[in-house]
Chains A and B, each alone.
Chain A
């Protein structure tokens, strides 16, 4: 059972206090978008063995959504950061790259 530190309230919460929200950094496609773009936004999800970026909500705590970078195979957590992020923080990306040299980036 995972523990993740909520970047908003600083609580190291266990999984039962959290709600998982799937892949992070999705771009929304609304009316006027192509079928391909909408399909990608609505249905296509990454399922990597390795580095992954996810949405989590501290639902039994401060109620805030945050993002987490972790390894889906080893469950190592590289870091958590606010949901109001267009992309993972640069220092977090550098940290992951150092630990997982073969990692190809978050996109």
Chain B
């Protein structure tokens, strides 16, 4: 486990907003019937939150769950706990038609922080960011690749992409955050 490294190993860039690769993050894909009692119970146990509503993400104490599609959730846990969480979810859902997969290593996570953080994403994503609700998880594209994003704090957005394109996504965020390109 000590050998594990994230795609960009915490690379950071300070422009008019700060872009950081967030390092290793436990992520689990859960596909199943989100209305089933068994799924609800398993999610609560693993993520500490209820099954989120359509396009919502609920985070609490370093864990949480995001709505990815009508039959898919993204469960977030600390990286070191991902394996155990996968086992626990799988055990809890035994007999239920569901799929639990560890995707911690398939993805990369980024944080864009600063008063103008939204402007960085405005340049890359065809999303109406001012209308993005608190706790809304939006799946879209960032320039030419798939991405999911949400407002993770005041002045902070979190972006998730596939791992293989981590350096592309970081490059696009960095380019968009360069000083002088603030949108007035």
Which residues in window 65-120 of B have CB below 8 A to A?
A: 68-70, 72
Asked if A14 lies at the interface with its beta carbon under 8 angstroms from chain B, I say yes
Q: In the complex, A13→B128 CA distance in Å?
A: 11
Asked if A61 lies at the interface with its beta carbon under 8 angstroms from chain B, I say yes
Give the one of B139, B140, B141 with max A CB within 10 A.
B139
Interface residues of A, dominant DSSP: loop
**A61-B70 contact given A9-B55, A10-B55, CB 8 Å threshold:** no
* List of A residues within 8 angstroms of B146 by Cβ: 59-60
> Is B55 within 8 A of A11, CB to CB?
yes
Asked if A85 lies at the interface with its beta carbon under 8 angstroms from chain B, I say no
Asked if A8 lies at the interface with its beta carbon under 8 angstroms from chain B, I say yes
Nearest-neighbour CB distance to chain B for A85, whole angstroms, equals 15
> Is B54 within 8 A of A9, CB to CB?
yes
Q: In the complex, A63→B141 CA distance in Å?
A: 12
> Is A11 within 8 A of B138, CB to CB?
yes
Residue of B nearest to A1 (CB): B126
* List of A residues within 8 angstroms of B140 by Cβ: 13, 17, 60-61
In the complex, the number of residue pairs spanning A and B with C-beta atoms less than 8 Å apart equals: 35
Q: In the complex, A14→B68 CA distance in Å?
A: 18
Which residues in window 55-101 of A have CB below 8 A to B?
A: 59-64
Q: In the complex, A59→B139 CA distance in Å?
A: 10
> Is B54 within 8 A of A61, CB to CB?
no
Nearest-neighbour CB distance to chain B for A66, whole angstroms, equals 11
Which residues in window 1-37 of A have CB below 8 A to B?
A: 8-11, 13-14, 16-17
* List of B residues within 8 angstroms of A16 by Cβ: 126, 141
Q: In the complex, A9→B139 CA distance in Å?
A: 10
* List of A residues within 8 angstroms of B54 by Cβ: 9-10
* List of B residues within 8 angstroms of A59 by Cβ: 146
* List of B residues within 8 angstroms of A13 by Cβ: 140
**A17-B141 contact given A10-B54, A11-B55, CB 8 Å threshold:** yes
> Is B70 within 8 A of A60, CB to CB?
no
Proximity bits, A37-65, B CB within 8 Å = 1, else 0? 00000000000000000000001111110
* List of A residues within 8 angstroms of B139 by Cβ: 9, 11, 60-62
By a beta-carbon cutoff of 8 Å, the part of chain B in contact with chain A is: 54-55, 68-70, 72, 126, 138-141, 146
What would 16 A/B residue contacts be, using CB atoms closer than 8 Å? A8-B69, A8-B70, A9-B54, A9-B69, A9-B70, A10-B54, A11-B138, A14-B126, A16-B141, A17-B126, A17-B140, A60-B140, A62-B72, A63-B69, A63-B72, A64-B70
By a beta-carbon cutoff of 8 Å, the part of chain A in contact with chain B is: 8-11, 13-14, 16-17, 59-64
6 A-B pairs closest in CB distance: A62-B69, A60-B141, A61-B139, A14-B126, A8-B70, A60-B146
